[in-house]
């Protein structure tokens, strides 16, 4: 049989990550990943934008790069430049913006141009699991620095930088998610940002700023981006439309000066990010982005309130968390005897998916009692039912909460 003749297992390169499991379906109570609210996807607006832009310039799909070059569709880059100037205080031209296939591609590109095995990077001790996995795969040394209620701790960062300097190590970058941190959902103050920028200069270490959730701050104006507080190239900035419009569009952006950008373009080897998505998004966002995210924020805040109420009802004081400043996640701490990796496995058998804290921390053991819950995707009633099921599973295995969810009612 042909299948036996071609056993790819023998041919695979030896340093591949583990094989993927086959996808079956989303669990009913899906609190993992960064999925968004289904009813908030602006379907009608996207249909209208698609019709308008395709009628006007659909024939430009005949070219790679839509007559806009490798940085991406120019009207979308112009929109991003205006948005970054207005919201984040970043003064950059459309020619300093690269449209990427999600901000994940931005992460990969920056890592590919900067990191070799054995290099060192500094990241927040609680951080995006996808960033940790990538860094591990690259054979990079990861130094985790504590996060407090104001985001990345500047005093701990200084200690880490001093320690590395003493050992003759210059980290390649400091990776931070300052605005609606993942997973803690804190928003770093401008004063803290200034301290971190100061350390970046003092120790000659660039900052890699990930602003995936910056459009989803509940109240008031968001602080300036780190990139918006400096006039030099110290900060590489990435952002995304995944959390503001829809993750399946796979569109994000990267801001960098030409010396770095020209090297990044040299390895962005996909022939350009999805052109139709870029055209539709540019057309839609020009007039509708602001009002769309205003409404989305209200929807997400409502869902967060439902999740908080469900946790208080089902877990009582056993579940500890801060009220997030924005975003789509709640970062929860359970009592010491709970192992959330085990809880994740058991909960999945009851149709409840959660992200265990160990995957969101540089020191996996320190995340054992933590879990991350995404409240954006499930409808409100599903959030209530899912948290009730989670409490039942947790009570059965760990006697947490002390009374079963049913007795609570």
CA distance 112 to 115: 6
Among 37, 210, 215, 283, binds ligand PLP (CB under 6 A): 210
Supply the minimum distance, in Å, between the C-beta of residue 239 and ligand PLP: 8
CB closer to ligand PLP out of 30 and 182: 182
CB closer to ligand PLP out of 63 and 133: 133
Among 45, 94, 102, 272, binds ligand PLP (CB under 6 A): 102
Among 45, 94, 228, 252, binds ligand PLP (CB under 6 A): 252
Supply the minimum distance, in Å, between the C-beta of residue 103 and ligand PLP: 3
Candidates 82-90, 96-104, 190-198, 374-382 — which segment interacts with ligand PLP by CB under 6 A? 96-104
State both tokens at 86: 């207005």
Binding positions for ligand PLP, 170-209, rule CB under 6 A: 177, 182
Residue 176 parent element (H or E): strand 174-176
- Helices 275-315 and 74-83: crossing angle in degrees, nearest 10, is 40
Candidates 47-55, 97-105, 349-357, 392-400 — which segment interacts with ligand PLP by CB under 6 A? 97-105
In the block, tokens 């030099």 appear at 232
Using only the alpha carbons of the chain, give its radius of gyration: 22
CA distance 97 to 40: 27
Q: Using the rule CB under 6 A, is 36 a contact of ligand PLP?
A: no
Supply the minimum distance, in Å, between the C-beta of residue 340 and ligand PLP: 18
User: How many other CB atoms are there within 10 angstroms of residue 80's CB atom?
Assistant: 27
Supply the minimum distance, in Å, between the C-beta of residue 241 and ligand PLP: 7
Of all residues in this chain, which one has the CB nearest to ligand PLP in the complex?
A: 102
State both tokens at 55: 């009628």
Among 31, 79, 128, 375, binds ligand PLP (CB under 6 A): 128
Among 36, 176, 200, 240, binds ligand PLP (CB under 6 A): 240
Would you state the torsion angle of the CA atoms of residues 308, 309, 314, 318, taken in this order, to the nearest 10 degrees? Answer: 50
Report yes or no: 186 and 219 within 8 Å, Cβ to Cβ.
Answer: no
In the block, tokens 């591990």 appear at 136
User: How many other CB atoms are there within 10 angstroms of residue 138's CB atom?
Assistant: 18
- Cβ-proximal residues to 408 (8 Å cutoff; 6+ apart), any chain: 313, 314, 316, 391, 401
Among 30, 40, 103, 186, binds ligand PLP (CB under 6 A): 103
CA distance 283 to 52: 8
State both tokens at 285: 């966002």
Report yes or no: 252 and 126 within 8 Å, Cβ to Cβ.
Answer: no
Total site size for ligand PLP, rule CB under 6 A: 14
Supply the minimum distance, in Å, between the C-beta of residue 212 and ligand PLP: 4
Give the contact letters, 218-237, x = binds to ligand PLP (CB under 6 A), - = no.
--------------------
CA distance 227 to 206: 11
Q: Using the rule CB under 6 A, is 34 a contact of ligand PLP?
A: yes
User: 147-148 and 151-152: which strand pairing?
Assistant: antiparallel
Q: Using the rule CB under 6 A, is 30 a contact of ligand PLP?
A: no
Report yes or no: 84 and 252 within 8 Å, Cβ to Cβ.
Answer: no
CB closer to ligand PLP out of 195 and 210: 210
Candidates 38-46, 112-120, 240-248, 334-342 — which segment interacts with ligand PLP by CB under 6 A? 240-248
Supply the minimum distance, in Å, between the C-beta of residue 320 and ligand PLP: 22
DSSP label at 409?
-
Q: Using the rule CB under 6 A, is 212 a contact of ligand PLP?
A: yes
Binding residues vs ligand PLP (CB under 6 A): 34, 102-104, 128, 130, 177, 182, 210, 212, 240, 242, 247, 252
């Amino acid at each position: 049989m042909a299948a036996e003749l071609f056993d790819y297992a023998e041919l695979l390169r030896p340093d591949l990550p583990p094989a993927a499991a086959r996808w079956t379906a989303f669990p009913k109570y899906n609190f993992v990943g960064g999925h968004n609210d289904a009813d908030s996807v602006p379907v009608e607006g996207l249909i209208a934008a698609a019709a308008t832009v395709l009628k006007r310039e659909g024939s430009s799909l005949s070219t790679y790069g839509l007559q806009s070059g490798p940085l991406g569709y120019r009207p979308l880059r112009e929109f991003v430049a205006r948005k970054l100037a207005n919201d984040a205080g970043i003064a950059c031209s459309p020619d300093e913006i690269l449209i990427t296939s999600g901000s994940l591609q931005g992460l990969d590109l920056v890592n590919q141009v900067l990191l070799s095995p054995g290099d060192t990077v500094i990241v927040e001790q609680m951080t995006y699991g996808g960033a940790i996995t990538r860094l591990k795969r690259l054979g990079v040394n990861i130094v985790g620095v504590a996060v407090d209620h104001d985001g990345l701790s500047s005093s701990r960062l200084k200690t880490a930088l001093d320690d590395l300097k003493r050992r003759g190590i210059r980290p390649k970058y400091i990776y931070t998610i300052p605005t609606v941190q993942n997973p803690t959902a804190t928003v770093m103050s401008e004063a803290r940002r200034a301290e971190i920028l100061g350390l970046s200069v003092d120790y000659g270490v660039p900052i890699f700023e990930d602003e995936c959730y910056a459009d989803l701050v509940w109240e008031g104006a968001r602080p300036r981006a780190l990139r918006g507080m400096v006039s030099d190239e110290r900060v590489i900035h990435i952002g995304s439309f995944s959390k503001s419009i829809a993750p399946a569009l796979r569109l994000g952006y990267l801001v960098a000066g030409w010396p770095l950008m020209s090297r990044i373009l040299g390895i962005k080897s996909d022939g350009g990010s999805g052109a139709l998505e870029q055209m539709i998004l540019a057309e839609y966002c020009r007039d509708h982005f602001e009002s769309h995210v205003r409404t989305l924020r209200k929807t997400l805040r409502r869902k967060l309130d439902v999740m908080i109420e469900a946790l208080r009802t089902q877990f009582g004081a056993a579940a500890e968390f801060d009220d997030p400043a924005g975003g789509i996640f709640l970062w929860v701490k359970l009592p010491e005897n709970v192992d959330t990796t085990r809880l994740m496995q058991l909960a999945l058998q009851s149709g409840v998916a959660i992200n265990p804290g160990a995957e969101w921390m540089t020191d996996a053991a320190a995340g054992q009692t933590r879990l991350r819950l995404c409240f954006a995707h499930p409808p409100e009633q599903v959030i209530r039912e899912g948290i009730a099921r989670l409490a039942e599973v947790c009570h059965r295995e760990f006697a947490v909460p002390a009374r079963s969810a049913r007795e609570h009612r």
